[in-house]
Amino acid sequence: MTDMPIRRGILIFLALFAGAALLAAQGADAPGTSDPDERGADSSAGKAPTGRKLMHYYVMDTAGPYPLMMAAFTAAIHQGTDNPPDWHQGAGALGKRFGSNMGITAVANTTRLGLAVALKQDTSYHRCRCNGVPARLRHAGLSALIARRWSDGRQVFSFPNLVAPYAATMTATYGWYPDRYGAKDAFRMGNYNLLGTVGSDLAFEFVPRAVWGALGHIHLNSRRLAQDE
């Protein structure tokens, strides 16, 4: 990676952050009107989040302790597997991999936020109200492509959750990855990102609430888990 792609990556990140701030400020001011108790839905259904809350969640999920820890962990794995090999080894290579992971996270979160605001969808993960392991597994597996409408809390197909992983890897491929990487590689990496979302949802579903609560006290929980959970 030359200095030019590094600078380009930094500019992309700053532009995304500014865009996310504008989206959060403009898109979520009107509260919902329906009564969640009448629907039997969760307590957050029918309530549009404020711009301040959206921005807080965005910052914490993009540059907070949890994404920093995950980016470092993934960078260490990529360093160990020499992925991509063009970046070689050493402290500088580890820094490139860490920065790349942070950039991918920023693009994914900004894409998800922008589309969620435009479509008025809650893309956070809500635990299943069902019983039994098979039903909970099915719920967690499908939730990567499910969102809830702000207006009434009803489940809908989540275009933001589908697009975000691929927008992130496509941006990384053409923004700062080595030149030999192309659309096929971006699609492959996007598939891995989507599978990673499924894995996170499984953790949100089966790891006890007390554990996520304890992690929240030290800011190591993910804001993708619905905060009423």
CA–CA separation, 195 and 201 (whole Å): 10
pLDDT of residue 224: 77
- Spell out the per-residue pLDDT of the chain, length 229, in tens: 445 555 555 555 555 555 555 555 555 454 443 333 333 334 445 567 778 888 888 888 899 898 999 999 999 999 999 999 999 999 999 999 999 999 999 999 999 998 999 899 999 999 999 989 999 999 999 999 999 999 888 999 999 999 999 999 999 999 999 999 999 999 999 999 999 999 999 999 999 988 887 877 776 677 777 765 5
Element (H, E) at 73: helix 65-80
pTM of the complete model = 0.80
pLDDT of residue 57: 86
Residues 201-220, buried b or exposed e (16+ Cβ, 10 A)?
bbebbeeeeeebeebeeeee
CA–CA separation, 101 and 218 (whole Å): 22
CA–CA separation, 181 and 189 (whole Å): 11
Interstrand relation of 155-157 and 146-149 (parallel, antiparallel or unpaired): antiparallel
155-166 tens-digit pLDDT: 999 999 999 999
For tokens 């479509």, the residue is 119
CA–CA separation, 195 and 7 (whole Å): 30
CB neighbour list of residue 123: distance below 8 Å, 6 or more residues apart: 112, 116, 147, 158, 160, 161, 224
pLDDT of residue 211: 87
For residue 89, with 0-12 CB atoms within 10 Å meaning exposed, 13-18 middle and 19 or more buried, which class applies?
exposed
CB 169 within 8 A of CB 193: yes
